[in-house]
Chain A
């Protein structure tokens, strides 16, 4: 062991490497051994049990969007637990394997391939980030695996859909039309719109969707002005000042929770929401939770899993029992339903072959904690009963703001039609093989 030389070292020190190595080596060996041997152990214990149906769930569990991904994962885990508690799927246990994509396309491609090639999954689910959804869809097509997702995506994510691909979330055009339909009903005289646009594909897609929606509505002729901000914007002051100067009737925001919270906090002294009506695209639970009593009243699109809506309320109770807290994202209920929908499709198909499951999904109806939906046969997009816009305000007994007024908009007024899906998204009929 080398001696410590306190006098002559230049800000130096010395580590007793041998001793440290010895101790840490023993601990590491133990940890590695336990980790390595535990998966080896389980097959022996469960060798005689039925082989599980494996499903891959790719989610963003680290980085800025981790809050969304973690909440959705919790929703899925609850569904997995309930499915297995009720006997599994066709008598076989369901095993969901969760992987972190870090919202990075390259990492997502790798984890998706691992799930498909190593874990032998029958279906792949994901994800929050549009770029990752596209990659997962491509990987699924390459390996002939069913891919489905219940998150929000921009239109660019729909361009590469294929016959084994299903999207059940309310997409960008639907949400933007929801805002416009609400405005037609409640604010028909609005002429000037400011749109806060995050400077990446999702934002650009939604801006265009909003402009198209206005142009095809009774609000036609209204002025739409975009205000771009970079992802992870630290200082919105310049943009806030510009919006204040512009004096719009309505302010539409399509930023993710973190950026939206920063924006809402920084706009407070300027009282933007006293001077104009705010409309947020959706996923507002995370924003309301973060802002607490500092939240401002605004309209927000709501997934049917939102705790303001009856199905979402029931799910929230379930979630509280399981996790001891209120849902932190409205999409948690969507992810619960997503697994239930797969279960129904497998039971309808009677098998887990991808094409059979896909055929079973087409036309499938399901009513759950995220409301009722039917999966359309051609576009693999959903039909729902209504798209809900809620006006956020304080509700007694709730830890964060919920909708104090709800406006249901018939889904036919907001949904992307099959014909449109072909034209707008360039999906040929039949799907690309």
Chain B
């Protein structure tokens, strides 16, 4: 029974947090990755209030309000302008907010672990049927129940709640009826953030307080919202109970599998019951990621689009060939790493920029390629070709599995399902210590030794590594370029612009999407296979779902409307990141701010704006 009570306590904390996420996702359609950061912010504000005023109960009152107001500010200033755009922009913006919030916390409260002093009223425990029940646990359960009751009252009995429900069902009609949709959206986000802050107060009674502690809570609350169903608090409550109990009981009876079980459940629901237990479908408008800019070749009268594209690609390769002659050693090394991640980003963009599919699962394919080649080279064979072939087979296999199960979902559901797969893959990598090294990963991965008949070429020096990577990445790029310039690539573009219309033209959209996913997976696997021997190390974090955010960011910076755009974005991101990390310890604040600025003000990316400039220059 003690386990059940403990599971219930954890479940209630998760419910309060997840209810907030559900409001934001259900009523605004925003997948708020900063929700965990708002949770830990609530805990920190509670700490600040109890430290300065010596009263936890004031913290209980103040912290949710502060976080709620902060949430409203975020929505009004940063999110609202992005609603008309593709949902990737709001997602990336919330990624940027995480970084900014973490460093704001660091600046105000420092990096040390903190705790909140438990008030005397909640410090004790009592015995029930021979089991010890902490008073704080009862309090958390009570707050969870009151929250559930409060939400029921707001959304069933108040005008505000009913209007919000109406807006979530059909925004256009609600707008046409004269409701101030924008203002109510801000209030809804504020309510969601307030609940995150309240969850933070509850968390402060049980947890240590440090930025990063929220990561697990974000994943759990995301799973709960999906399993319970978007827009349903009844579903959120039930799902919280399931996840909470699974987590506690799983940790006791099945510690090896407890982490993975929840993600398996998530995958099952997203694949078979995307609406969840009691939810509804999220209203999704198909919005092109970026507007069509036109054919830049029209600005160059003597060249066709293909010729111009080929020329520019060859120019880039030529520059990369001669770059080591001009660059210092470190930049040669960095450029090699940039090329690997450029391939990662370019292959991601086959899905996103060319097909309109936002996948958060690419890191798992990258990881599959990286781990396979590492294990082969360490334990099985020194033959790089064999190891590389094995890594291609495995990473392609992972792409096929994820693709087969995800393709049937569209837009935000596709993104969530690929993310769920990434979480599942990460949990397997993390727990399978004996094979993968768990959290510490593998090190001492040997450099490639290429066997050509009786000859061997060892890729040992940084320069050799550089040119080896350049050759492989260049070949991959030209293969991708050929594919994207073919009729197949044109169909993908059509799907990106309007999948329904493409379907009506008689083209099997799902089949094309699946093939695109596998193609992207193949080259993502190549990137992983290149990276691990290059770095000499690989760990579980390379497969974490958040790692999938990097190619998204790099693609947006560089521009998703061209194949080379993500490559340019990768270069920009790495140079900037390398520089900023070396000059300030508050690099998260700087990088997060840059990400937010790019997302809000420069959605077309570097190559997109270059294209636009060339076209407008020529036309003037």
Show the binding face of A for B, using Cβ within 8 Å.
6, 9-15, 17, 20-21, 24, 35, 61-64, 66-67, 69-71, 97-100, 104-106, 109-111, 113-114, 116-118, 130-131, 134-135, 138-139, 142, 156, 160, 199-202, 204, 228-235, 237-239, 241-242, 244, 257-262, 265-266, 268-270, 286-287, 289-294, 328
Contact = CB atoms under 8 A, between A and B. Distances in A.
B207 A11 contact: no
Given A104-B541, A131-B443, A201-B437, 7 more contacts: A12-B81, A62-B585, A111-B582, A134-B440, A232-B215, A237-B7, A261-B115
B150 interface: no
15 contacts: A61-B111, A62-B103, A64-B212, A71-B112, A106-B538, A111-B582, A138-B444, A232-B212, A232-B215, A237-B6, A237-B248, A239-B251, A268-B123, A269-B136, A290-B113
A231 B542 CA distance: 17
Contact of A269 (B3, B132, B329): B132
Given A15-B81, A67-B110, A110 B578 contact: yes
Contacts of A111: 581-582
Contacts of A241: 2-3, 6, 252
A258 B6 contact: no
Contacts of B54: none
In the A-B complex, list the 4 residue pairs whose CB atoms are closest, starting with the nearest.
A237-B6, A269-B125, A117-B330, A66-B111
Nearest to B590: A31
Nearest to B29: A11
B618 interface: no
Please classify how large the interface on chain B is, using the bins under 10, 10 to 19, 20 to 34, 35 or more. 35 or more
A265 B207 contact: yes
Contacts of A67: 110-113, 210
Contacts of A239: 251-252
Contact of B182 (A9, A104, A116, A259): A9
Given A131-B443, A261-B113, A235 B212 contact: no
B549 interface: no
A160 B536 CA distance: 13
Contacts of A235: 6, 9-10, 206, 247-248, 251
B80 interface: yes
A139 B583 CA distance: 22
Nearest to A156: B440
A69 B212 CA distance: 15
Contact of B587 (A15, A62, A131): A62
A266 B171 CA distance: 45
Interface string B206-229: 111011110111000000000000
Nearest to B182: A11
Interface of B: 2-3, 6-7, 9-10, 28, 80-81, 83-84, 102-103, 106, 110-115, 117-118, 123-125, 132-136, 171-172, 175, 181-182, 185, 203, 205-208, 210-213, 215-217, 247-249, 251-252, 255, 258-259, 328-331, 333-334, 337, 431, 433, 437-441, 443-444, 535-539, 541-542, 578, 581-583, 585, 587-588, 597, 600-601
A117 B578 contact: no
Contact of B172 (A10, A160, A257, A328): A10
B443 A134 contact: yes
B80 A13 contact: yes
Contacts of B588: 62
Contact of B112 (A201, A294, A328): A328
Given A35-B583, A204-B433, A131 B330 contact: no
B539 A106 contact: yes
Contacts of B117: 292-294
Contacts of B440: 105, 130-131, 134, 156, 200-202
A131 B84 contact: no
A20 B581 CA distance: 26
Contacts of A160: 443-444
A234 B248 CA distance: 10
A271 to B, nearest CB: 9
A31 B538 CA distance: 36
Contacts of A270: 125, 132
Nearest to A232: B216
Contact of A290 (B208, B215, B438, B581): B208
B536 A114 contact: no
Contact of A266 (B83, B206, B443, B585): B206
Contacts of A294: 115, 117-118
Contacts of B585: 61-62, 98, 100
Contacts of A289: 112
Nearest to A111: B581
A99 to B, nearest CB: 7
Nearest to A204: B433
A290 B112 contact: yes
